[in-house]
Every structure is written in C-alpha cells, then in structure tokens.
Structure 1
Amino acid sequence: MNEPKKKRITDEKTGLAKAEHFCAYQERSQQEVRDKLYDLGLYPDAVERIISKLIEGNYLNEERFARAYVQGKFNQKTWGRIKIKQGLKLKRVPEKLINKVLMGIDGDDYLLKLEQLLAKRAAQTTEKDTFKRRYKLIQYATSRGFEADLINDVLNNSEL
C-alpha cells in the first residue's frame, strides 16, 4: 500500500534536461511542460526559466504543437473542429492560435471525413425507423465534434 516517493528535483539543469527529453519525442504545449516540471518538484521561477530556454532552443513551439495536434486528431481520430478546439483549450493554447491552426484544415477534406464517418456509422446502425436512425447519426457526428449544420447538409445530400 505504501507508494514509493517520487524523487524531487530542485536542480534547474536536471529539470532542463528532463524537459528537453520530454519535448524531444513528441510535440508538447507549454502547459504540459509546465505541469511536468511542477510534478518534478521545481519552483515556479525555475519552471518559467526552463520554459524560456526550451523555446529558445526550439524544443517548445506552441504553433508547431497546435498544428500537430490538429492534424493528429483530424486524420487519426476523425475529430471535428469543435472537439479539436476544446482539446486545444484544455492544453491552454491561445484562442488566436487555435483559430489560425483550425483554418489549416481543408474544407473539402473536412466534408469528406464527415461523409466517411457518417457512412461507416450508418452501416453499423441497425435502427429501422428513419427518424431515429437520422437522430443517432446526428448524435454520433456531434459527439465527434462536427458542426450540426454540416451534418444536416451531408445527411440531406446522401442516402444514409
């Protein structure tokens, strides 16, 4: 039942090395790195100095992180703009940057992903009542972060 105590780091150089390693294998937001450094036991002034050094060394780039996040969630997880935006807000990415990177999603690709998502879900749905079936498809696409007007447009223009 006794959990092993985490070793606290108070040395800024050790914290910087750990943060560099943390940022090297995956894009990170500033808030993720800040949280990690606080978990390691560093003091706030040391954390901010380390984050500044990471930005200078190009280990940490908020725009690069946001672009990678958007591409990953859109291409791999098939998330819509709403859900991606919420995820970026949770990572404390600035609103201006969120809007900028969301503009990078191609509109045609976005509609195609939505159509594919709805077609796949429609094939899995056993509901016979057309109203209930349509409702289930709308609910599913909404839960994936797609906009209601686009979902309705796709459903109206297809035989799903």
Structure 2
Amino acid sequence: MSFGKQHVYTVQQALTKAMKYCAYQERCQSEVYKKLRDWGMSHNDSEEVLAELISDNFINEERYTEAFVRGKLRSKGWGKLKISYKLKEKQISNYNIDHALKHIEQEEYLSILEREAKTKLKLINSKPDREKKASLLRFLQSKGFENNLIWDWINNNL
C-alpha cells in the first residue's frame, strides 16, 4: 500500500491506461468510471475518457452484459435473478439485461440448475427429506434460480 503522492494523469494518459484496462477483459461504464475516479481523474475528465472509450468500442454495454451473463451462468452457476441483480448494481440498463437473459437456452439453464442442485445434494444427503428440501431450496434461491423451477426440480427428483 502506497501512501505517497497520487499520480495525476492527463486525459490522454488516462485514456491509454483505460484502453489497456478494457482490452484485458470486458468492462462496463460504471466499472471504468470508478477506476478513472480511483486514478484521481475529475468527473468531467472521466466522462471525456468514457466517451472516447465508447466511441472507439472499448466499452460496449451490450457486449459486456452478454459476456457477464454467459460467464456467471456457466462458471458460477448463477440463475437469472442473481445475474439480473448484479447487473443492475453495475447500472446496466433493463433493456440490455433482458436482451442478454433471453439468449440463455432453457435446456442449458435447467441443466445448470440440476448441476448445482446435485452438487448441493451430495453435501446434505444424510439429512431427513424435509430438511434436505428446505436446504436445497435456500441454496438454489441464493444462486438466483426462480422458485417455480426450483420446486419443479425438487418435486421431480426427491
């Protein structure tokens, strides 16, 4: 942790640094804005850099949202509710969220719900059925799956 004088970037220096930051992985506007502010940039200079990044397609909210949805669904096993909530925290528009969630294939989605349920089931298998169902319900809700899908799976598999 450095307690020295904070480096002050020019708009051009910040733009170059932000381009590298965005090229490394998909970023949304709010993440880049926060990073620019962390670098000591003023609000106006941050807005100027953001505008340039957007116009040069370093930042694209639709592309970011689709990558976020795919990543969280497949690697973290998150359901649509949790994904949507996390995207709203990042100030992504409802339009982009809805658009990206519509691209999830229902078969893949249900298969991920099943994978998550079976993984949890292995950990709680010794519990009585009633406790098992309650535990599974809470777990899958915390992962962001819809109640009707959770209950369908529980009723068909336990």
Which TM-score band applies after superposition, normalised by the shorter structure?
over 0.9
Structure 1 stretches lacking a partner, 5+ long:
none
Q: Deviations over 1:50-90 (max 9, x none)?
A: 11110111111111110110000000000000110111011
1:25 aligns with 2:21: no
- The list of structure 1 runs, each at least 4 consecutive aligned residues, that deviate by more than 6 angstroms after superposition, is none
- TM-score, normalised via structure 1 length: 0.93
Partner of 1:110: 109
Find the residue that maps to 1:157 and give its secondary structure.
Answer: helix
Q: Deviations over 1:84-135 (max 9, x none)?
A: 0111011110111111111111111111111121112112214431111110
Find the residue that maps to 1:60 and give its secondary structure.
Answer: coil
Task: Please report the RMSD computed on the Cα atoms of aligned residues, expressed in angstroms.
Answer: 1.4
Partner of 1:141: 140
Partner of 1:40: 39
C-alpha contact (below 8 Å) 1:9/1:42 kept by paired residues? yes
Moved more, 105-114 or 5-14: 5-14
Letter in 1 for 2:40: G
Structure 2 stretches lacking a partner, 5+ long:
none
Partner of 2:130: 131
Partner of 1:60: 59
Taking the aligned partners of 1:90 and 1:71, their CA distance within structure 2 comes to: 17
C-alpha contact (below 8 Å) 1:66/1:88 kept by paired residues? yes
C-alpha contact (below 8 Å) 1:9/1:15 kept by paired residues? no
Taking the aligned partners of 1:119 and 1:135, their CA distance within structure 2 comes to: 14
Instruction: Measure how far apart 1:3 and its partner are.
Output: 4.5
- TM-score, normalised via structure 2 length: 0.94
Count how many residue pairs are aligned between Structure 1 and Structure 2.
158
Identity %: 35
Instruction: Measure how far apart 1:6 and its partner are.
Output: 5.3
Taking the aligned partners of 1:92 and 1:119, their CA distance within structure 2 comes to: 33
Letter in 2 for 1:135: A
Letter in 2 for 1:128: K
